[in-house]
Protein backbone atom coordinates (compact mmCIF):
# COMPACT_ATOMS: atom_id res chain seq x y z
CA UNK A 1 0.00 0.00 0.00
CA UNK A 2 1.20 3.53 -0.77
CA UNK A 3 0.86 6.44 1.66
CA UNK A 4 -2.58 7.54 0.42
CA UNK A 5 -3.88 3.97 0.65
CA UNK A 6 -2.43 3.66 4.14
CA UNK A 7 -4.16 6.86 5.24
CA UNK A 8 -7.46 5.55 3.86
CA UNK A 9 -6.98 2.21 5.61
CA UNK A 10 -6.19 3.92 8.91
CA UNK A 11 -9.30 6.08 8.58
CA UNK A 12 -11.37 2.92 8.05
CA UNK A 13 -9.83 1.23 11.06
CA UNK A 14 -10.35 4.24 13.32
CA UNK A 15 -14.07 4.13 12.50
CA UNK A 16 -14.40 0.56 13.79
CA UNK A 17 -16.04 -0.20 17.17
CA UNK A 18 -13.61 -0.35 20.08
CA UNK A 19 -14.05 -4.12 20.53
CA UNK A 20 -13.47 -5.20 16.92
CA UNK A 21 -11.69 -8.51 17.38
CA UNK A 22 -9.60 -8.41 14.21
CA UNK A 23 -8.08 -4.95 14.89
CA UNK A 24 -5.85 -3.88 17.79
CA UNK A 25 -4.62 -0.36 18.59
CA UNK A 26 -1.50 0.49 20.57
CA UNK A 27 0.56 3.55 21.42
CA UNK A 28 4.20 2.50 21.93
CA UNK A 29 4.14 -1.05 23.34
CA UNK A 30 6.79 -2.85 21.28
CA UNK A 31 7.57 -5.92 23.42
CA UNK A 32 8.40 -8.72 20.91
CA UNK A 33 6.60 -11.57 22.69
CA UNK A 34 3.45 -9.45 22.97
CA UNK A 35 3.55 -8.63 19.26
CA UNK A 36 3.87 -12.31 18.37
CA UNK A 37 0.93 -13.27 20.55
CA UNK A 38 -1.20 -10.58 18.92
CA UNK A 39 -0.23 -11.81 15.45
CA UNK A 40 -1.64 -15.20 16.43
CA UNK A 41 -4.77 -13.73 18.02
CA UNK A 42 -5.55 -11.29 15.19
CA UNK A 43 -4.93 -13.89 12.47
CA UNK A 44 -7.24 -16.39 14.15
CA UNK A 45 -9.90 -13.77 14.88
CA UNK A 46 -9.86 -12.54 11.26
CA UNK A 47 -10.44 -16.08 10.00
CA UNK A 48 -13.22 -16.66 12.51
CA UNK A 49 -15.00 -13.45 11.46
CA UNK A 50 -14.56 -13.90 7.72
CA UNK A 51 -11.97 -11.15 7.23
CA UNK A 52 -9.07 -11.70 4.79
CA UNK A 53 -6.74 -9.66 7.04
CA UNK A 54 -6.48 -8.37 10.58
CA UNK A 55 -4.56 -5.29 11.73
CA UNK A 56 -2.34 -4.11 14.58
CA UNK A 57 -1.94 -0.31 14.61
CA UNK A 58 0.65 1.67 16.60
CA UNK A 59 0.15 5.38 17.27
CA UNK A 60 -3.48 5.19 18.45
CA UNK A 61 -4.87 5.22 21.98
CA UNK A 62 -6.70 1.93 22.39
CA UNK A 63 -9.57 3.25 24.48
CA UNK A 64 -10.32 6.43 22.54
CA UNK A 65 -8.95 5.82 19.02
CA UNK A 66 -7.19 9.19 19.27
CA UNK A 67 -4.20 9.41 16.93
CA UNK A 68 -1.11 10.25 19.01
CA UNK A 69 1.78 8.84 16.93
CA UNK A 70 4.36 6.28 18.02
CA UNK A 71 8.07 5.92 18.63
CA UNK A 72 7.95 2.23 17.64
CA UNK A 73 10.41 1.47 14.81
CA UNK A 74 9.78 -2.15 13.74
CA UNK A 75 12.66 -2.17 11.23
CA UNK A 76 15.09 -1.30 14.01
CA UNK A 77 13.48 -3.41 16.73
CA UNK A 78 15.13 -6.67 17.74
CA UNK A 79 13.55 -9.90 18.85
CA UNK A 80 15.09 -12.04 21.54
CA UNK A 81 18.70 -12.95 20.90
CA UNK A 82 19.36 -9.72 18.97
CA UNK A 83 17.62 -11.12 15.87
CA UNK A 84 15.74 -8.64 13.67
CA UNK A 85 12.10 -8.46 14.74
CA UNK A 86 10.41 -9.55 11.50
CA UNK A 87 12.29 -12.85 10.97
CA UNK A 88 12.19 -13.49 14.72
CA UNK A 89 8.39 -13.28 14.63
CA UNK A 90 8.16 -15.30 11.42
CA UNK A 91 10.20 -18.17 12.82
CA UNK A 92 7.84 -18.55 15.79
CA UNK A 93 4.55 -18.54 13.90
CA UNK A 94 3.11 -21.95 13.05
CA UNK A 95 1.80 -22.42 10.49
CA UNK A 96 3.48 -19.51 8.73
CA UNK A 97 1.23 -16.60 7.75
CA UNK A 98 1.99 -13.51 5.74
CA UNK A 99 2.15 -10.22 7.63
CA UNK A 100 3.27 -6.92 6.20
CA UNK A 101 4.75 -3.96 8.06
CA UNK A 102 3.94 -0.38 7.01
CA UNK A 103 5.48 2.79 8.46
CA UNK A 104 4.09 6.17 7.40
CA UNK A 105 3.15 9.67 8.55
CA UNK A 106 -0.43 10.73 9.24
CA UNK A 107 -2.27 13.91 10.14
CA UNK A 108 0.53 16.43 10.35
CA UNK A 109 3.57 14.17 10.51
CA UNK A 110 2.59 11.75 13.28
CA UNK A 111 4.53 8.53 12.91
CA UNK A 112 2.30 5.47 12.47
CA UNK A 113 2.90 1.72 12.11
CA UNK A 114 0.44 -0.86 10.76
CA UNK A 115 0.90 -4.63 10.72
CA UNK A 116 -1.43 -6.20 8.13
CA UNK A 117 -1.92 -9.81 9.21
CA UNK A 118 -3.17 -12.61 6.95
CA UNK A 119 -6.12 -14.58 8.30
CA UNK A 120 -5.41 -18.17 9.34
CA UNK A 121 -6.09 -20.45 6.37
CA UNK A 122 -4.73 -23.96 6.96
CA UNK A 123 -4.82 -24.27 10.76
CA UNK A 124 -5.22 -21.96 13.77
CA UNK A 125 -2.02 -19.93 14.11
CA UNK A 126 0.25 -20.42 17.13
CA UNK A 127 3.10 -18.25 18.37
CA UNK A 128 5.90 -19.88 20.37
CA UNK A 129 3.75 -22.96 20.81
CA UNK A 130 0.51 -21.28 21.97
CA UNK A 131 -2.58 -20.30 19.99
CA UNK A 132 -4.39 -17.08 20.87
CA UNK A 133 -7.73 -15.48 20.03
CA UNK A 134 -9.35 -12.10 20.59
CA UNK A 135 -12.41 -12.09 22.85
CA UNK A 136 -13.85 -8.57 22.72
CA UNK A 137 -10.85 -6.32 23.29
CA UNK A 138 -8.83 -8.97 25.16
CA UNK A 139 -6.23 -11.47 23.96
CA UNK A 140 -6.82 -14.97 25.37
CA UNK A 141 -5.39 -18.47 24.87
CA UNK A 142 -7.51 -20.18 22.23
CA UNK A 143 -7.67 -23.37 24.32
CA UNK A 144 -9.75 -21.49 26.91
CA UNK A 145 -12.51 -21.02 24.32
CA UNK A 146 -13.25 -24.48 22.87
CA UNK A 147 -16.34 -23.38 20.93
CA UNK A 148 -14.37 -20.70 19.09
CA UNK A 149 -11.59 -23.18 18.49
CA UNK A 150 -13.98 -25.77 17.04
CA UNK A 151 -15.54 -23.22 14.69
CA UNK A 152 -12.11 -21.94 13.67
CA UNK A 153 -10.94 -25.44 12.79
CA UNK A 154 -14.05 -25.95 10.68
CA UNK A 155 -13.37 -22.70 8.82
CA UNK A 156 -9.65 -23.19 8.13
CA UNK A 157 -9.99 -26.87 7.25
CA UNK A 158 -12.51 -26.17 4.50
CA UNK A 159 -14.85 -28.88 3.18
CA UNK A 160 -14.14 -32.26 4.75
CA UNK A 161 -12.59 -34.05 1.78
CA UNK A 162 -10.60 -37.06 2.97
CA UNK A 163 -8.28 -38.29 0.23
CA UNK A 164 -7.59 -41.55 2.05
CA UNK A 165 -11.32 -42.44 2.11
CA UNK A 166 -11.61 -42.26 -1.68
CA UNK A 167 -12.85 -45.45 -3.36
CA UNK A 168 -10.53 -47.25 -5.79
CA UNK A 169 -13.28 -48.56 -8.08
CA UNK A 170 -11.07 -50.96 -10.02
CA UNK A 171 -9.28 -52.42 -7.00
CA UNK A 172 -10.13 -55.91 -5.72
CA UNK A 173 -9.25 -57.91 -2.63
CA UNK A 174 -6.74 -59.78 -4.80
CA UNK A 175 -4.80 -56.49 -5.04
CA UNK A 176 -4.04 -56.78 -1.32
CA UNK A 177 -1.11 -58.69 0.16
CA UNK A 178 -2.31 -61.89 1.98
CA UNK A 179 0.54 -61.62 4.51
CA UNK A 180 -0.46 -58.04 5.26
CA UNK A 181 -4.08 -59.09 5.80
CA UNK A 182 -2.96 -61.86 8.17
CA UNK A 183 -0.76 -59.40 10.09
CA UNK A 184 -3.67 -56.96 10.21
CA UNK A 185 -5.91 -59.60 11.82
CA UNK A 186 -3.24 -60.26 14.45
CA UNK A 187 -2.82 -56.55 15.24
CA UNK A 188 -6.60 -56.07 15.39
CA UNK A 189 -6.97 -58.97 17.81
CA UNK A 190 -4.21 -57.56 20.03
CA UNK A 191 -5.73 -54.07 19.84
CA UNK A 192 -8.98 -55.18 21.49
CA UNK A 193 -7.71 -58.01 23.69
CA UNK A 194 -7.42 -55.76 26.74
CA UNK A 195 -10.75 -53.96 26.28
CA UNK A 196 -13.43 -55.61 28.49
CA UNK A 197 -16.25 -54.26 26.30
CA UNK A 198 -14.70 -55.35 22.99
CA UNK A 199 -12.56 -58.35 23.91
CA UNK A 200 -14.92 -60.60 21.94
CA UNK A 201 -13.64 -58.98 18.74
CA UNK A 202 -10.21 -60.53 19.37
CA UNK A 203 -11.78 -63.96 18.85
CA UNK A 204 -14.36 -63.09 16.21
CA UNK A 205 -11.79 -61.53 13.88
CA UNK A 206 -10.58 -64.99 12.85
CA UNK A 207 -14.08 -66.03 11.71
CA UNK A 208 -14.70 -63.06 9.40
CA UNK A 209 -14.09 -63.35 5.69
CA UNK A 210 -11.67 -60.84 4.14
CA UNK A 211 -14.33 -58.39 2.96
CA UNK A 212 -16.04 -58.32 6.36
CA UNK A 213 -12.69 -57.82 8.07
CA UNK A 214 -11.72 -54.97 5.72
CA UNK A 215 -15.04 -53.27 6.42
CA UNK A 216 -14.53 -53.70 10.17
CA UNK A 217 -11.07 -52.12 10.22
CA UNK A 218 -12.38 -49.32 8.02
CA UNK A 219 -10.21 -49.66 4.95
CA UNK A 220 -13.21 -50.73 2.85
CA UNK A 221 -16.68 -49.22 2.51
CA UNK A 222 -19.42 -51.75 1.68
CA UNK A 223 -16.73 -54.06 0.33
CA UNK A 224 -15.18 -51.43 -1.93
CA UNK A 225 -11.50 -50.77 -1.26
CA UNK A 226 -10.33 -47.29 -0.31
CA UNK A 227 -6.96 -45.66 -0.90
CA UNK A 228 -6.20 -46.37 2.77
CA UNK A 229 -6.52 -50.09 2.05
CA UNK A 230 -4.00 -49.91 -0.82
CA UNK A 231 -1.51 -47.91 1.27
CA UNK A 232 -1.61 -50.15 4.33
CA UNK A 233 -2.31 -53.58 2.79
CA UNK A 234 -1.86 -53.29 -0.98
CA UNK A 235 0.61 -55.27 -3.05
CA UNK A 236 3.54 -53.30 -4.43
CA UNK A 237 2.30 -53.77 -7.99
CA UNK A 238 -1.18 -52.48 -7.07
CA UNK A 239 -0.20 -48.91 -6.22
CA UNK A 240 -1.37 -47.73 -9.67
CA UNK A 241 -4.87 -47.72 -8.19
CA UNK A 242 -3.98 -44.60 -6.15
CA UNK A 243 -2.13 -42.76 -8.96
CA UNK A 244 -0.99 -40.03 -9.32
CA UNK A 245 -0.09 -40.54 -5.65
CA UNK A 246 3.11 -42.56 -5.20
CA UNK A 247 3.09 -44.06 -1.71
CA UNK A 248 6.71 -44.87 -0.95
CA UNK A 249 9.14 -44.68 1.96
CA UNK A 250 12.87 -44.22 1.41
CA UNK A 251 15.70 -44.93 3.84
CA UNK A 252 18.99 -43.12 3.19
CA UNK A 253 22.25 -43.77 5.06
CA UNK A 254 24.73 -40.89 5.27
CA UNK A 255 28.15 -40.59 6.90
CA UNK A 256 29.35 -37.85 9.25
CA UNK A 257 30.17 -35.67 6.23
CA UNK A 258 26.58 -35.96 4.95
CA UNK A 259 27.69 -38.12 2.02
CA UNK A 260 25.17 -40.76 0.95
CA UNK A 261 26.41 -44.31 1.61
CA UNK A 262 23.34 -46.43 0.90
CA UNK A 263 19.60 -46.20 0.27
CA UNK A 264 16.54 -48.40 -0.11
CA UNK A 265 12.91 -47.86 -1.18
CA UNK A 266 9.90 -49.41 0.56
CA UNK A 267 6.51 -49.66 -1.15
CA UNK A 268 3.14 -50.85 0.20
CA UNK A 269 1.94 -52.71 2.08
CA UNK A 270 3.11 -50.14 4.63
CA UNK A 271 1.85 -52.32 7.48
CA UNK A 272 4.75 -54.66 6.69
CA UNK A 273 7.16 -52.17 5.13
CA UNK A 274 7.60 -50.30 8.43
CA UNK A 275 9.36 -53.34 9.95
CA UNK A 276 11.56 -53.71 6.87
CA UNK A 277 12.62 -50.06 6.92
CA UNK A 278 13.35 -49.96 10.66
CA UNK A 279 15.44 -53.15 10.40
CA UNK A 280 17.93 -51.23 8.23
CA UNK A 281 18.65 -48.67 10.97
CA UNK A 282 21.84 -49.36 12.91
CA UNK A 283 20.66 -48.74 16.46
CA UNK A 284 24.03 -48.60 18.21
CA UNK A 285 24.72 -48.53 21.95
CA UNK A 286 25.45 -45.26 23.73
CA UNK A 287 27.34 -45.28 27.04
CA UNK A 288 27.31 -42.49 29.63
CA UNK A 289 28.53 -42.26 33.21
CA UNK A 290 26.12 -40.87 35.84
CA UNK A 291 27.39 -38.76 38.72
CA UNK A 292 28.54 -40.59 41.79
CA UNK A 293 29.15 -43.97 40.17
CA UNK A 294 31.88 -45.82 38.35
CA UNK A 295 29.35 -47.92 36.43
CA UNK A 296 28.28 -46.65 32.99
CA UNK A 297 24.72 -46.85 31.67
CA UNK A 298 24.33 -48.49 28.28
CA UNK A 299 21.30 -47.58 26.18
CA UNK A 300 20.40 -47.85 22.51
CA UNK A 301 20.57 -44.70 20.42
CA UNK A 302 16.87 -44.85 19.62
CA UNK A 303 13.91 -46.28 21.47
CA UNK A 304 12.10 -48.77 19.16
CA UNK A 305 8.64 -47.47 20.11
CA UNK A 306 9.68 -43.86 19.42
CA UNK A 307 11.09 -44.76 15.99
CA UNK A 308 7.96 -46.70 15.06
CA UNK A 309 5.57 -44.02 16.34
CA UNK A 310 7.41 -41.30 14.42
CA UNK A 311 7.31 -43.29 11.18
CA UNK A 312 3.64 -44.20 11.68
CA UNK A 313 2.83 -40.51 12.13
CA UNK A 314 4.54 -39.79 8.82
CA UNK A 315 2.30 -42.37 7.13
CA UNK A 316 -0.88 -41.11 8.80
CA UNK A 317 -0.27 -37.41 8.02
CA UNK A 318 1.49 -37.56 4.66
CA UNK A 319 -0.15 -35.41 1.95
CA UNK A 320 -0.32 -38.13 -0.69
CA UNK A 321 -1.80 -35.73 -3.26
CA UNK A 322 1.65 -34.16 -3.62
CA UNK A 323 3.05 -37.44 -5.00
CA UNK A 324 6.06 -37.25 -2.69
CA UNK A 325 7.87 -39.78 -0.53
CA UNK A 326 8.31 -40.28 3.20
CA UNK A 327 12.05 -40.07 3.80
CA UNK A 328 14.13 -41.40 6.70
CA UNK A 329 17.75 -40.21 6.74
CA UNK A 330 20.12 -42.08 9.06
CA UNK A 331 23.29 -40.29 10.13
CA UNK A 332 25.83 -41.40 12.75
CA UNK A 333 24.15 -39.42 15.53
CA UNK A 334 20.54 -38.86 14.41
CA UNK A 335 17.51 -39.99 12.42
CA UNK A 336 15.59 -37.46 10.32
CA UNK A 337 11.97 -38.29 9.37
CA UNK A 338 10.30 -36.12 6.70
CA UNK A 339 6.74 -36.15 5.40
CA UNK A 340 4.77 -33.73 3.23
CA UNK A 341 1.86 -31.77 4.68
CA UNK A 342 1.32 -29.24 7.49
CA UNK A 343 1.74 -29.96 11.19
CA UNK A 344 -1.91 -29.52 12.12
CA UNK A 345 -1.47 -29.10 15.91
CA UNK A 346 0.51 -25.91 15.12
CA UNK A 347 3.38 -26.62 17.52
CA UNK A 348 4.73 -29.32 19.79
CA UNK A 349 4.13 -27.14 22.85
CA UNK A 350 0.45 -26.91 21.88
CA UNK A 351 0.24 -30.72 21.95
CA UNK A 352 1.82 -30.84 25.41
CA UNK A 353 -0.26 -28.00 26.84
CA UNK A 354 -3.56 -29.30 25.49
CA UNK A 355 -3.05 -32.85 26.79
CA UNK A 356 -6.03 -34.02 24.73
CA UNK A 357 -6.62 -35.73 21.37
CA UNK A 358 -5.97 -33.85 18.17
CA UNK A 359 -9.31 -32.91 16.66
CA UNK A 360 -8.28 -32.99 13.00
CA UNK A 361 -6.16 -35.27 10.83
CA UNK A 362 -4.82 -34.96 7.31
CA UNK A 363 -6.20 -38.44 6.49
CA UNK A 364 -8.96 -39.27 9.01
CA UNK A 365 -9.97 -42.55 7.35
CA UNK A 366 -6.38 -43.77 7.15
CA UNK A 367 -5.64 -42.62 10.71
CA UNK A 368 -8.67 -44.48 12.10
CA UNK A 369 -7.62 -47.64 10.28
CA UNK A 370 -4.14 -47.31 11.79
CA UNK A 371 -5.71 -46.99 15.24
CA UNK A 372 -7.71 -50.17 14.62
CA UNK A 373 -4.52 -51.95 13.54
CA UNK A 374 -2.63 -50.92 16.67
CA UNK A 375 -0.26 -48.67 14.70
CA UNK A 376 -0.96 -45.29 16.32
CA UNK A 377 -2.28 -44.27 19.72
CA UNK A 378 -6.03 -44.38 20.24
CA UNK A 379 -6.27 -41.05 22.05
CA UNK A 380 -3.78 -39.14 19.92
CA UNK A 381 -1.17 -38.75 22.65
CA UNK A 382 1.67 -40.40 20.75
CA UNK A 383 3.75 -37.24 20.42
CA UNK A 384 3.54 -36.50 24.12
CA UNK A 385 4.44 -40.10 24.96
CA UNK A 386 7.44 -39.83 22.62
CA UNK A 387 8.73 -36.83 24.58
CA UNK A 388 8.20 -38.63 27.89
CA UNK A 389 10.12 -41.68 26.71
CA UNK A 390 13.06 -39.55 25.59
CA UNK A 391 12.95 -37.69 28.87
CA UNK A 392 12.97 -40.98 30.84
CA UNK A 393 15.96 -42.13 28.77
CA UNK A 394 17.76 -38.84 29.63
CA UNK A 395 18.16 -38.16 25.91
CA UNK A 396 17.54 -34.99 23.87
CA UNK A 397 13.93 -34.32 22.93
CA UNK A 398 12.78 -34.89 19.33
CA UNK A 399 13.29 -31.75 17.24
CA UNK A 400 10.33 -30.65 15.09
CA UNK A 401 11.32 -28.44 12.17
CA UNK A 402 8.14 -26.67 10.99
CA UNK A 403 9.90 -23.94 9.03
CA UNK A 404 8.16 -25.02 5.81
CA UNK A 405 4.34 -24.87 5.95
CA UNK A 406 3.87 -28.00 3.83
CA UNK A 407 6.64 -30.22 5.21
CA UNK A 408 7.32 -31.67 8.67
CA UNK A 409 10.80 -32.79 9.72
CA UNK A 410 11.33 -34.69 12.96
CA UNK A 411 14.88 -35.42 14.15
CA UNK A 412 15.67 -38.04 16.79
CA UNK A 413 19.11 -37.46 18.30
CA UNK A 414 21.07 -40.56 19.27
CA UNK A 415 23.78 -39.07 21.46
CA UNK A 416 24.29 -37.06 24.64
CA UNK A 417 24.65 -33.40 23.64
CA UNK A 418 25.21 -31.72 26.99
CA UNK A 419 26.19 -33.70 30.12
CA UNK A 420 24.65 -30.98 32.31
CA UNK A 421 21.28 -31.50 30.61
CA UNK A 422 21.49 -35.26 31.08
CA UNK A 423 22.60 -34.83 34.67
CA UNK A 424 19.57 -32.67 35.43
CA UNK A 425 17.14 -35.15 33.92
CA UNK A 426 18.66 -37.96 35.97
CA UNK A 427 18.49 -36.05 39.24
CA UNK A 428 15.26 -34.07 38.83
CA UNK A 429 12.80 -36.71 37.76
CA UNK A 430 9.79 -34.48 38.53
CA UNK A 431 10.61 -31.70 36.06
CA UNK A 432 7.56 -30.47 34.13
CA UNK A 433 7.62 -31.72 30.52
CA UNK A 434 7.36 -28.16 29.18
CA UNK A 435 10.44 -27.23 31.24
CA UNK A 436 12.29 -30.24 29.82
CA UNK A 437 11.36 -29.20 26.26
CA UNK A 438 12.54 -25.63 26.91
CA UNK A 439 15.74 -26.89 28.55
CA UNK A 440 16.30 -29.13 25.53
CA UNK A 441 16.08 -26.07 23.25
CA UNK A 442 18.79 -24.41 25.35
CA UNK A 443 21.20 -27.34 24.99
CA UNK A 444 20.59 -27.28 21.21
CA UNK A 445 21.20 -23.52 20.99
CA UNK A 446 17.62 -22.81 19.91
CA UNK A 447 15.80 -19.63 21.04
CA UNK A 448 13.33 -19.76 23.90
CA UNK A 449 10.60 -17.33 24.95
CA UNK A 450 10.71 -14.86 27.85
CA UNK A 451 8.30 -17.07 29.80
CA UNK A 452 10.55 -20.09 29.27
CA UNK A 453 13.62 -18.12 30.36
CA UNK A 454 11.81 -16.94 33.50
CA UNK A 455 10.65 -20.46 34.39
CA UNK A 456 14.04 -22.10 33.85
CA UNK A 457 15.99 -19.35 35.57
CA UNK A 458 13.63 -19.48 38.54
CA UNK A 459 14.47 -23.16 38.97
CA UNK A 460 18.21 -22.49 38.47
CA UNK A 461 18.29 -24.69 35.38
CA UNK A 462 20.00 -22.17 33.09
CA UNK A 463 22.77 -19.59 33.31
CA UNK A 464 24.02 -16.70 31.23
CA UNK A 465 22.28 -13.99 29.23
CA UNK A 466 20.89 -13.95 25.72
CA UNK A 467 22.21 -14.98 23.30
CA UNK A 468 24.58 -17.08 25.43
CA UNK A 469 22.12 -18.90 27.67
CA UNK A 470 23.29 -22.40 28.58
CA UNK A 471 22.26 -25.31 30.76
CA UNK A 472 23.33 -24.58 34.29
CA UNK A 473 26.73 -25.86 35.37
CA UNK A 474 25.83 -25.06 38.97
CA UNK A 475 25.38 -28.71 39.81
CA UNK A 476 24.84 -28.00 43.48
CA UNK A 477 21.77 -25.86 42.80
CA UNK A 478 20.53 -27.59 39.67
CA UNK A 479 20.91 -31.26 40.49
CA UNK A 480 21.58 -31.57 44.21
CA UNK A 481 24.83 -33.45 43.54
CA UNK A 482 26.76 -31.20 45.94
CA UNK A 483 25.17 -33.12 48.81
CA UNK A 484 26.55 -36.30 47.34
CA UNK A 485 29.88 -34.60 46.70
CA UNK A 486 30.20 -33.40 50.28
CA UNK A 487 29.39 -36.90 51.48
CA UNK A 488 32.11 -38.28 49.20
CA UNK A 489 34.64 -35.54 49.80
CA UNK A 490 36.54 -37.42 52.50
CA UNK A 491 36.74 -40.42 50.16
CA UNK A 492 38.02 -38.24 47.34
CA UNK A 493 40.64 -36.67 49.62
CA UNK A 494 41.94 -40.01 50.89
CA UNK A 495 41.95 -41.47 47.37
CA UNK A 496 43.86 -38.50 45.91
CA UNK A 497 46.37 -38.51 48.76
CA UNK A 498 47.11 -42.19 48.17
CA UNK A 499 47.49 -41.63 44.42
CA UNK A 500 49.93 -38.74 45.01
CA UNK A 501 52.04 -40.77 47.43
CA UNK A 502 52.10 -43.75 45.04
CA UNK A 503 53.24 -41.45 42.22
CA UNK A 504 56.01 -39.82 44.25
CA UNK A 505 57.29 -43.17 45.48
CA UNK A 506 58.47 -43.63 41.87
CA UNK A 507 60.34 -40.33 41.97
CA UNK A 508 59.77 -36.54 41.97
CA UNK A 509 56.90 -35.24 39.81
CA UNK A 510 55.86 -31.85 38.46
CA UNK A 511 52.61 -30.25 39.57
CA UNK A 512 51.12 -30.55 36.07
CA UNK A 513 51.80 -34.31 36.16
CA UNK A 514 49.78 -34.54 39.38
CA UNK A 515 46.98 -32.53 37.75
CA UNK A 516 46.89 -34.84 34.74
CA UNK A 517 46.71 -37.84 37.05
CA UNK A 518 43.83 -36.64 39.23
CA UNK A 519 41.77 -33.80 37.73
CA UNK A 520 39.55 -36.06 35.64
CA UNK A 521 38.97 -38.36 38.61
CA UNK A 522 37.41 -35.72 40.83
CA UNK A 523 33.68 -35.22 41.25
CA UNK A 524 31.71 -33.55 38.45
CA UNK A 525 30.19 -31.41 41.18
CA UNK A 526 33.27 -29.17 40.76
CA UNK A 527 34.25 -27.21 37.69
CA UNK A 528 37.86 -27.24 36.44
CA UNK A 529 38.95 -24.25 38.55
CA UNK A 530 37.44 -25.75 41.69
CA UNK A 531 39.17 -29.07 41.01
CA UNK A 532 42.56 -27.38 40.66
CA UNK A 533 41.93 -25.47 43.88
CA UNK A 534 41.00 -28.71 45.63
CA UNK A 535 44.29 -30.34 44.53
CA UNK A 536 46.37 -27.29 45.46
CA UNK A 537 44.87 -27.24 48.97
CA UNK A 538 45.41 -30.99 49.34
CA UNK A 539 49.07 -30.71 48.33
CA UNK A 540 49.63 -27.93 50.87
CA UNK A 541 47.95 -29.97 53.61
CA UNK A 542 50.16 -32.95 52.77
CA UNK A 543 53.25 -30.68 52.91
CA UNK A 544 52.23 -29.28 56.29
CA UNK A 545 51.74 -32.86 57.48
CA UNK A 546 55.33 -33.55 56.34
CA UNK A 547 54.27 -36.15 53.85
CA UNK A 548 55.68 -34.37 50.78
CA UNK A 549 57.95 -31.44 49.91
CA UNK A 550 58.04 -28.94 47.02
CA UNK A 551 60.37 -26.33 45.56
CA UNK A 552 57.42 -24.00 44.76
CA UNK A 553 53.67 -23.68 44.12
CA UNK A 554 53.23 -23.26 40.37
CA UNK A 555 52.37 -25.86 37.72
CA UNK A 556 56.10 -26.28 37.07
CA UNK A 557 56.98 -26.93 40.73
CA UNK A 558 58.64 -30.21 41.64
CA UNK A 559 57.04 -32.40 44.33
CA UNK A 560 58.68 -35.28 46.14
CA UNK A 561 58.28 -37.42 49.22
CA UNK A 562 59.29 -35.93 52.57
CA UNK A 563 62.51 -37.35 53.93
CA UNK A 564 60.59 -39.19 56.65
CA UNK A 565 58.63 -41.15 54.02
CA UNK A 566 59.77 -44.30 52.25
CA UNK A 567 62.53 -44.01 49.70
CA UNK A 568 61.55 -43.83 46.01
CA UNK A 569 60.98 -47.14 44.29
CA UNK A 570 63.53 -48.43 41.81
Choose the weakest-confidence range: 150-164, 218-232, 341-355, 503-517.
Answer: 341-355
Tell me: the pLDDT tens digits for 386-401?
Answer: 999 999 888 899 999 8
Does the reported pTM lie above 0.85?
no
- Specify the higher pLDDT residue, 308 or 376: 308
Question: How high is the pLDDT of residue 473?
Answer: 55
The pLDDT score that the predictor gives to residue 408 is 92
Question: Between the CA of residue 241 and those of 237, 323, 403, 470, what are the distances in Å?
Answer: 9, 13, 33, 53
pLDDT band at 122 (very low <50, low <70, confident <90, very high): confident
pLDDT of residue 259: 95
Locate CATH 1.10.10 in the chain.
484-561
Confidence of residue 318 (pLDDT cuts 50, 70, 90): very high
Q: For a pLDDT cut of 90, what percent of the chain falls above it?
A: 43
Which residues of the chain does CATH 3.30.950 include?
Answer: 3-157
Give CA torsion, residues 441, 304, 334, 422, to 10 deg. 40
What is the tens place of the pLDDT at every residue in 135-180?
A: 988 899 888 888 888 888 878 866 557 899 999 999 999 999 999 9
Where is average pLDDT lowest: 89-103, 187-201, 308-322, 420-434?
A: 420-434
Residue 119 has pLDDT above 90, yes or no: yes
DSSP 63-94: TT--B------TTT-B-GGG-BHHHHHHTTEE
Which residue pairs from 138-141 have beta carbons closer than 8 angstroms and sit at least 24 positions apart in sequence?
139/37, 139/38, 139/41, 140/41
Q: What 3-state class would DSSP assign to 139?
A: strand
Cβ atoms of 156 and 123 within 8 Å: the answer is yes
Residue 570: is its pLDDT beyond 50?
A: no
Cis upstream peptide for 95 (omega within 30°): yes
**pLDDT at position 477:** 42
pLDDT score for 132: 93
Q: So what's the pLDDT on residue 355?
A: 56
**How high is the mean pLDDT of the chain?**
85
pLDDT at 223: 92
Highest mean pLDDT among 159-163, 531-535, 544-548: 544-548
Query: pLDDT value at position 107?
Result: 82
Q: Is the peptide bond before 244 cis (omega within 30 degrees of 0)?
A: yes
Instruction: Count other Cβ atoms within 10 Å, centred on residue 365.
Output: 20
At the second CATH level, the architecture of 484-561 is Orthogonal Bundle (1.10)
State residue 358's pLDDT score.
Answer: 58
What CATH class is the domain 3-157?
A: alpha beta
Q: Which of 133-137, 170-174, 214-218, 247-251 has the lowest mean pLDDT?
A: 133-137
96 has pLDDT over 90: no
pLDDT in tens, 469-501: 877 755 334 444 444 444 444 446 777 888 899
> Of residues 521 and 49, which shows the higher confidence score?
49
- Mean pLDDT along residues 119-133: 88
Tens of pLDDT, residue by residue over 339-389, are 998 887 767 777 776 655 555 677 889 999 999 998 987 555 788 889 999
Confidence of residue 556 (pLDDT cuts 50, 70, 90): confident
Residue 23: what pLDDT? 92
Rounded to an integer, what distance in angstroms lies between the CA atom of residue 465 and that of residue 463? 7
Q: Given CA atoms 552, 556, 560, 563 in this order, what sign does their dihedral have?
A: negative
Per residue in 425-480, pLDDT (tens digit) is 877 777 888 888 888 888 888 888 777 888 888 888 887 766 678 777 553 344 44
C-alpha to C-alpha distance for 188 and 232, rounded to whole angstroms: 13
Q: Do 220 and 167 contact (CB within 8 A), yes or no?
A: no
- Helix, strand, coil percentages (3-state) for the chain, rounded to 5, are 40, 20, 40
3-state secondary structure 13-68: HHCCCCCCCCEEEECCCCCHHHHHHHHHHHHHHHHHCCCCEEEEEECECCCCCCEC
Give pLDDT, residue 354. Answer: 62
Amino acid sequence: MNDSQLEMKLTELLALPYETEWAEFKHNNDEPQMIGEYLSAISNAAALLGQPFGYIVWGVENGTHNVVGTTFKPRRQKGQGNEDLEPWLNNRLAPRIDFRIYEFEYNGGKQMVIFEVQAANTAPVAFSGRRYIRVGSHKKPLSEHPEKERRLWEIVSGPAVDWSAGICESAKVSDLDPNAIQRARTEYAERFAGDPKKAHLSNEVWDWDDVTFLNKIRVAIDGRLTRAALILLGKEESTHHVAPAQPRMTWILKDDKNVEQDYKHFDPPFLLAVDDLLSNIRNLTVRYLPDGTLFPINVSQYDPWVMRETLHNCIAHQDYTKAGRIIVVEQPDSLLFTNLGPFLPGSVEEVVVRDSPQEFSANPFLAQAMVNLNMIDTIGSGIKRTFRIQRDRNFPMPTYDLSEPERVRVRLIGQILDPNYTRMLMSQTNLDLLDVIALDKVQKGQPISDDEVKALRGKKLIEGRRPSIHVSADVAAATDTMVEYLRRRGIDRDYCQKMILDLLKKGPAKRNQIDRLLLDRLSDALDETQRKTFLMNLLQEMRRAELIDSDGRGVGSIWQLHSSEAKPED
